[in-house]
Structure 1
Amino acid sequence: MFAVCAALVAAGALGTAFAFTSVNDTHEVLVVANDIKRGETIDAGDLAVVRVSVDPALTPVPGSQKAQLEGSRAAVDLWAGTLLTEQAVTDSLVPGQGESLVGISLTPAQMPSEPLYSGDIVRIVTTPGDQGEVTDKEPVTIEATVVGVSRVEETGETVVDVSVPEREAADLAARAATGRVALVLDARER
């Protein structure tokens, strides 16, 4: 009986020690102190350092990086009280200076089946009209960089957001609106 009691006391002590170290295993991380809209510059007062117990699945920014992040921009809308992650901060905005973002809705037949990723270099090519007329002229192509990809479940189409030079954006948007375009994925090796 004495051995059972001693074992229970030892197990309780180990459980208490484990709980104490789990609770006290905190890290200094950055939290958003003020709402910051996407694209806005992050100022010194917009971030605060807090001590929290961090789940290994999370990747918050360490509190020691506060000074380094001042002057960068919010990549997404940031709300006061949320942990700051590395993905939420950027040094450059999309679209950048002199660039425009154009969304192109494509059917599976208008694009490769290979998944597209942000940063892929693609060409948007004008395709023949409804009658399938083929001419001797070279098709109009516009080089672009993929920024984002989303699938529209209701239609089965994929919307590809591409960044193009500002001077080509209106032409590309007009061509994309006709639905007579195809996307060509160029080599990923650079």
Structure 2
Amino acid sequence: MSSAATQFDGALTQEGPAATALAPPPKLRRRPALMASAIGAICIGALLAGWAWTATTTTHEVLVARHSIERGAVIQADDLARVRLSADAALKPVSASQLEEVVGQRAATDIAEGVMLTPTSVTSEVVPAADQSVVGVALTPAQVPGLALHYGDRVRIVATPAQGEELPAGTPLTTDATAVGVHVSEETGQTVVDLLVPKADAAVLATRIATGNIALVLDSRER
């Protein structure tokens, strides 16, 4: 064998950089559990992102009562607060953007502190109406029930005999009315009640009240 052939055979069997470069790449191990975990983490992240987006896009800024508001009271700006809530649209909450429209209206029902306002919570009804009148009366504790009176209570003003007079025969004279304002005078301790009555009954009722010989009767609150 010639020296050229010997040199060629040596080149094929020698170890070095050339031989290393021709070695096959190592086989990568597949790890199914690790891949499943990664896919699960991606899915959970997507679900959390979707929930966060939904939560932030379904909240609305609505009006709630800062403190309790009695039925019939004129609503002031200080009575209300703006709160962002995730409210069911079926409840029809009053949007905070309607604040100026609500202020000046009356509470249609008793509104508890923290309660969200709805369109039925307020009314623009003017009291008294064209065919009605409001008559005020100051009553001592002996002339009113022990129960606290509220806006909208149905009451009767009953004519009572003067001191020393005998009870009149038959049914005493009465006037049906609705309480549209109640407060206790700090000076006299008397309960001052604003009574809504038909316009035709206002003069008669005022005359009876002037005598002081009356009593107020609270009728059923069931509607």
Q: Aligning the two structures, in what range does the TM-score lie when normalised by the shorter sequence?
A: 0.5 to 0.7
Which one-letter code corresponds to 1:106 in the other structure?
Answer: L
Give the total of aligned pairs: 128
Which one-letter code corresponds to 1:138 in the other structure?
Answer: T
Q: RMSD over aligned Cα, in angstroms?
A: 3.3
Runs (5+) with no aligned partner, structure 2:
1-59, 64-80, 85-93, 107-116
Higher relative contact order (CA 8 A, sep 6+): 1
Between the aligned partners of 1:121 and 1:171, the Cα distance in structure 2 is: 18
Which one-letter code corresponds to 1:187 in the other structure?
Answer: S
TM-score (norm 2): 0.49
1:131 matches 2:164? yes
What is the CA-CA distance between 1:96 and the residue it aligns to? Answer: 1.4
What is the CA-CA distance between 1:158 and the residue it aligns to? Answer: 0.6
Find the residue that maps to 1:175 and give its secondary structure. helix
**1:46 paired residue number:** none
**1:101 paired residue number:** 134
Residues 62 and 82, structure 2, Cα contact 8 Å, conserved in 1: no
Question: 191, 207, 212: which is aligned to 1:158?
Answer: 191
Structure 1 residues 73 and 93: CA distance shift in structure 2, 3 A:
farther
Structure 1 residues 115 and 66: CA distance shift in structure 2, 3 A:
closer
Q: Percent identity?
A: 46
TM-score (norm 1): 0.57
Greater share of helix: 2
Between the aligned partners of 1:116 and 1:28, the Cα distance in structure 2 is: 31
Structure 1 residues 93 and 125: CA distance shift in structure 2, 3 A:
same
**1:119 paired residue number:** 152
What is the CA-CA distance between 1:176 and the residue it aligns to? Answer: 0.8
What is the CA-CA distance between 1:66 and the residue it aligns to? Answer: 7.7
Residues 175 and 205, structure 2, Cα contact 8 Å, conserved in 1: yes
**1:185 paired residue number:** 218
Greater share of strand: 1
Find the residue that maps to 1:122 and give its secondary structure. strand
Structure (1 or 2) with the larger CA radius of gyration: 2
Between the aligned partners of 2:133 and 2:103, the Cα distance in structure 1 is: 18
Residues 124 and 183, structure 1, Cα contact 8 Å, conserved in 2: yes
Runs (5+) with no aligned partner, structure 1:
1-25, 30-52, 77-84
Between the aligned partners of 1:90 and 1:73, the Cα distance in structure 2 is: 11
